Structure 1
Amino acid sequence: MPRQQLRVLIALDTVRIRWYHFTAIVISGMGFFTDAYDLFSISLITKLLGRIYYYEEGHLKPGTLPIQVLAAVNGVAFCGTLAGQLFFGWLGDKMGRKSVYGITLILMVVCSIASGLSFGSNPKGVMAALCFFRFWLGFGIGGDYPLSATIMSEYANKKTRGAFISAVFAMQGFGILASGIVALIVSAAFNSAFPAPAFGENANVSTVPQADYVWRIILMFGAFPAALTFYWRMKMPETARYTALIAKNAKQAATDMGKVLNIDIEAEEDMIANDRANSFGLFSKKFLRRHGYHLLGTTSTWFLLDIAFYSQNLFQKDIFTAISWLPQPEKMNAIDEVYRIARAQTLVALLGTIPGYWFTVAFIDTVGRFPIQFMGFFFMTVFMLALALPYSYWKQHNPIGFVILYALTFFFANFGPNTTTFVVPAEIFPARLRSTCHGISAATGKAGAIVGAFGFLYASQDPQQLLRDNPKYPKGLGMQHALIILGCINALGMLFTFLLPEPKGKSLEELSGENEPENGDMETPCDAASEANLL
């Protein structure tokens, strides 16, 4: 028989939606707003960096970042994010979710400003400084993943938990949109104040000196939303599940949750004082038996998803240029190029990215996590192959049709695995290891993002152009073959989704087995996966 549940946890699982739930969504979600802004704003300015720092007098084309520099600038933040997810995920289980929650915001604020102040005596110095600060920016961003997901899952009731966690993650869409809007405003203002001809008209002045301010302002703006929420994060109490189940202080847990939910909760110290049933470690046989398949499922699906998702996001400007939806660089000046790239990103965010997030919020607690993730991977596969196989047709005859299908892949990424891979790891692991396991899952996802940032960059290059410009680097496959590979990766994501259980409508303790006695009947990972497949 299941162990009797603590009243404070029962209250959290069954309490009606309170104003504090929405407050927690905003406080946690603003971290993801900042995360997305900082991670994706870099894609708006890489071409501008090439024009400013790598144009050589006498060249017939605008300057571009050398491919190894472009890979580093795009990928270094993901390396920091991966490290931050592992470190802060572990720290969140050791010291408490709230105790380290403010550190991540401080890192994001400081490093966003420092990224915009990256100076050097030569282009390599500027790029080195930018990469250094973006690594530590990513480190702070990484900590926000396990902490925000765990905090929201442990505050929410079991009926609407999926929607609450999804809503936190959905703020990422607004962060992507904000990066595009800020870039539009800044570039339009500078282009109006300091107009320059297109590159072909006068190569010497197509990149005005003031263009150096544009990318710095865009990057530094990411500090503001993080700074605005710091005070409120510090006011949040520790989650009751950490205080009661890990810190073993049921009285404090009842007091904290009673205040924020405005209800009376009775403490039960005697029920947790001698609880040893779930004291197994992350690397124990017991964890492997209970949650091994689950961890494999969360890590593999997040890894595969992020290869495709970040490849599409980081290099959408190159994809749009390849299909001639954006003009060639020599037909516009440097700041106008930023404006046009930002406009394209903003349109895709409005048409596909943001609606996808909020469809998940609306349906995740009725449809379920497993069906949404499987459906998302399926349609991402379909649309990616629909873009890739008739690629020549889209490029030559119908670039607008390409953009519409491309936006649909973003819609089903977000109304699908991009959201559910964030939600599920925050629900199915024990409280003592929840933040750690979410950090491991997220870090594996960022390993996929690194593969996408570096691999897709090389794979999508025109083979002859890449070999001519960089003879020592591997030969590119071309955009069409790169898109086919991404479609196949999405198909693999469908298969690995079968390793995951369906958390809909269950309490966190029911999912993790924390309310089961030591020798009680436990649902095995295989059974859980089989059950999920029938839902």
Structure 2
Amino acid sequence: MGSPEVIEDQNVVEAQVKESEIVVSKKSKVASYISIACSGAALISDGYQNNLMTMMNVLFALAYKTEYNSTMKTRVSNALLVGEVLGQVSIGLVCDYLGRKFALVSTTLLIVIGGILAAAAHGSTPTGMFWMITVCRGIIGFGAGGEYPASSTSASEAANEATPKRRGPTFIMVTNLPLSLGGPVAISIFLIVLSAAGQNHLSTVWRVCFAIGCIFPLSVFWFRLRMMTSKLYHEGAIKKNVPYGLTIKYYWKSLVGTCGAWFLYDFVTFPNGVFSGAIISSIVPDSATNLKKTAEWNLLLGMISIPGVFIGAFLCDRIGRKNTMMLGFSGYLVFGLIIGIAYEKMSTILPLFIVFYGLFNCCGNLGPGDMLGLLSSECYATAVRGTCYGLSAAIGKTGAAIGTQCFTPIQSHLGKKWTFIIAALCGVVGVAVTFFFVPNVTGEDLGVEDKKFHDYLTANGWQGTYGEDSSSFEEDEKSSVKTEL
């Protein structure tokens, strides 16, 4: 036995160690909250950039009547989509191989560089200028698309550590909420810039709007540089000899569910967002000369859809992720049919049309808008979460590109009401895909899925190493603590 003095010294040391561990634990938890916020916050860039074209299509058609024809309009609109598809697949792989932080920093830089170039776009002719805008929008799209797997996987893993029992609502509030707010923010900024510059300076309006899009990713750039690697990624990452064959064999049903549902959701929601300005301008009196009136109705339309995000966040833990998504797709069926069947009469009563159009979009936010990102971040193991999430989102954006290409021909050959009737049919297929293929995730700890996946790989003879170098994790943790101090 030691002397009383030695025992007393040992007790003091143990108390100091415990106190130090509590302090570090609190700092780590705060760092997790910062990671959650900074991971998802920049998704507003995707919402902003997507919805910016809602009014840009109207503006360009007014300012460049000859050059901005239907072909050029589709090309400029789809440039972002093509970039997003490539970015989602590429950055999905990157965030699994090189880490969430590396992916987040890369996407931020791409959005900023693309935005600056788009704002400064010039050409010897207007057609040349639009080609430059198309390329710049592709760069923005690559970064904005990469935000999906990079931001969502990081936010989900951080929420799993900080708020494990409320991971679903927390995830939605930092991902789909900023994404959905991007539309109203884009329209609000457009209205402010248009009021300041005037309708006689449309070139100034669109350049300033493109430039402002750089502010959102820059606002969280420093925090992303200081983010801490999640424990899930530190322990469960596979950086060599990734078993893609076994991954597809194990997750094929989930991939069919998330990819198929995302394709249907984006096929409906993206063209309705991009071309909502054109739809509304076609029924707004004097819309050809009054951009402000069209923008104001678009702003109201965007705001009506926002409550759906909160309703979905409220329901996801109460009735389940899967049921919430089917409820949202069912809303497409109900409101799509109402608007489509009564389009001729409803379009003559503009406020009524906007309300039902907004409720249609609200159902999209409530169901697949909230649930697809959440489910895609929860039903795959950490080792392949970014890859599977990116693939699901990329298939979704493919649906958006196809929907954008089909939207104008459908309107031209069948009539505007058929865009809503077809959306209703997509809602029916969405319910079926969700019911048969989407897993019924309950919100359990993400580590449980990691263990199941690891056990499956081991049982099928895969040999490899999990986790990343411990020194890099410790360095990240120190960096995060310094940020808090």
Q: Structure 2-normalised TM-score? A: 0.84
- Deviation at residue 233 of structure 1 after TM alignment: 0.4
1:507 to 441, 445, 448: 445
1:436 to 353, 367, 387: 387
Does structure 2 conserve the Cα–Cα contact (< 8 Å) formed by 1:35 and 1:172? yes
CA distance in 2, matches of 1:36, 1:436: 22
Correspondence 1:360-439 to 2 at 5 A: 360-396=312-348, 398-439=349-390
* Larger helix fraction of residues: 2
1:483 to 411, 420, 425: 420
Does structure 1 conserve the Cα–Cα contact (< 8 Å) formed by 2:37 and 2:155? no
2:257 to 278, 290, 297: 297
- Deviation at residue 478 of structure 1 after TM alignment: 1.3
CA distance in 2, matches of 1:80, 1:247: 27
CA distance in 2, matches of 1:517, 1:187: 58
Change in 2 beyond 3 A, CA 1:19/1:356 = farther
Secondary structure of the residue that 1:366 maps to in structure 2? Answer: coil
Change in 2 beyond 3 A, CA 1:440/1:184 = same
Query: Following superposition, which runs of at least 4 residues in structure 1 exceed 3 angstroms of deviation?
Result: 17-22, 514-521
In structure 2, the residue matched to 1:117 is 120
CA distance in 2, matches of 1:505, 1:122: 55
In structure 2, the residue matched to 1:237 is 228
Q: Which amino acid aligns with 2:387?
A: T
- Deviation at residue 520 of structure 1 after TM alignment: 7.3
Question: In the alignment, is residue 174 of structure 1 matched against residue 185 of structure 2?
Answer: no
- Deviation at residue 294 of structure 1 after TM alignment: 0.4
CA distance in 2, matches of 1:22, 1:366: 24
Does structure 2 conserve the Cα–Cα contact (< 8 Å) formed by 1:25 and 1:167? no
In structure 1, the residue matched to 2:192 is 185
Secondary structure of the residue that 2:441 maps to in structure 1? Answer: coil
Which segment drifts farther, 44-53 or 370-379? 44-53
Question: In the alignment, is residue 36 of structure 1 matched against residue 43 of structure 2?
Answer: no
Does structure 1 conserve the Cα–Cα contact (< 8 Å) formed by 2:31 and 2:227? no
Question: In the alignment, is residue 356 of structure 1 matched against residue 346 of structure 2?
Answer: no
Q: Which amino acid aligns with 2:255?
A: L
Question: In the alignment, is residue 316 of structure 1 matched against residue 323 of structure 2?
Answer: no
CA distance in 1, matches of 2:125, 2:456: 64
- Deviation at residue 42 of structure 1 after TM alignment: 1.5
1:327 to 257, 260, 285: 285
Aligned residues: 431
Question: In the alignment, is residue 227 of structure 1 matched against residue 218 of structure 2?
Answer: yes
Does structure 1 conserve the Cα–Cα contact (< 8 Å) formed by 2:333 and 2:424? yes
In structure 2, the residue matched to 1:147 is 150
CA distance in 2, matches of 1:144, 1:280: 22
CA distance in 2, matches of 1:102, 1:520: 37
Q: Which amino acid aligns with 1:281?
A: P
Q: Which amino acid aligns with 1:405?
A: F
Question: In the alignment, is residue 162 of structure 1 matched against residue 168 of structure 2?
Answer: yes
Does structure 2 conserve the Cα–Cα contact (< 8 Å) formed by 1:101 and 1:233? yes
Does structure 2 conserve the Cα–Cα contact (< 8 Å) formed by 1:92 and 1:435? yes
CA distance in 2, matches of 1:244, 1:389: 54
Does structure 1 conserve the Cα–Cα contact (< 8 Å) formed by 2:268 and 2:426? yes
In structure 2, the residue matched to 1:213 is 204
Q: Which structure 2 residue ranges, 5 or more long, are not aligned? A: 1-25, 461-485
CA distance in 1, matches of 2:192, 2:279: 23
2:237 to 246, 251, 266: 246
- Deviation at residue 489 of structure 1 after TM alignment: 1.2
CA distance in 1, matches of 2:107, 2:124: 31
In structure 2, the residue matched to 1:524 is none
CA distance in 1, matches of 2:116, 2:178: 21
- Deviation at residue 311 of structure 1 after TM alignment: 1.7
Does structure 2 conserve the Cα–Cα contact (< 8 Å) formed by 1:43 and 1:74? no
CA distance in 2, matches of 1:243, 1:234: 17
CA distance in 2, matches of 1:436, 1:415: 25
Does structure 2 conserve the Cα–Cα contact (< 8 Å) formed by 1:509 and 1:515? no
Secondary structure of the residue that 2:317 maps to in structure 1? Answer: helix
In structure 2, the residue matched to 1:344 is 297
- Deviation at residue 423 of structure 1 after TM alignment: 1.1
Secondary structure of the residue that 2:442 maps to in structure 1? Answer: coil
Secondary structure of the residue that 1:327 maps to in structure 2? Answer: coil
- Deviation at residue 518 of structure 1 after TM alignment: 5.9
CA distance in 1, matches of 2:459, 2:135: 51
Q: Structure 1-normalised TM-score? A: 0.76
Does structure 1 conserve the Cα–Cα contact (< 8 Å) formed by 2:36 and 2:156? no
Does structure 2 conserve the Cα–Cα contact (< 8 Å) formed by 1:42 and 1:219? no
Question: In the alignment, is residue 48 of structure 1 matched against residue 48 of structure 2?
Answer: no
Does structure 2 conserve the Cα–Cα contact (< 8 Å) formed by 1:503 and 1:511? no
CA distance in 2, matches of 1:48, 1:318: 10
- Deviation at residue 234 of structure 1 after TM alignment: 0.6
CA distance in 2, matches of 1:416, 1:139: 26
Question: In the alignment, is residue 77 of structure 1 matched against residue 80 of structure 2?
Answer: yes
Does structure 2 conserve the Cα–Cα contact (< 8 Å) formed by 1:32 and 1:172? yes
- Deviation at residue 247 of structure 1 after TM alignment: 6.4
Change in 2 beyond 3 A, CA 1:315/1:231 = same
1:160-199 C-alpha deviation (Å, 9 max, x unpaired): 12112211221112221211110110111222xxxxxxxx
Q: Which amino acid aligns with 1:494?
A: V
Secondary structure of the residue that 2:414 maps to in structure 1? Answer: coil
Does structure 2 conserve the Cα–Cα contact (< 8 Å) formed by 1:159 and 1:365? no
Q: Which amino acid aligns with 2:365?
A: N
Does structure 2 conserve the Cα–Cα contact (< 8 Å) formed by 1:105 and 1:227? yes
CA distance in 1, matches of 2:32, 2:266: 29
Does structure 2 conserve the Cα–Cα contact (< 8 Å) formed by 1:38 and 1:112? no
1:356-397 C-alpha deviation (Å, 9 max, x unpaired): 11222233223221011000000111101110012112123x
Question: In the alignment, is residue 107 of structure 1 matched against residue 115 of structure 2?
Answer: no
Q: Which structure 1 residue ranges, 5 or more long, are not aligned? A: 1-14, 56-63, 192-206, 249-275, 462-475, 522-535
- Deviation at residue 73 of structure 1 after TM alignment: 1.2
Q: Which amino acid aligns with 1:317?
A: G
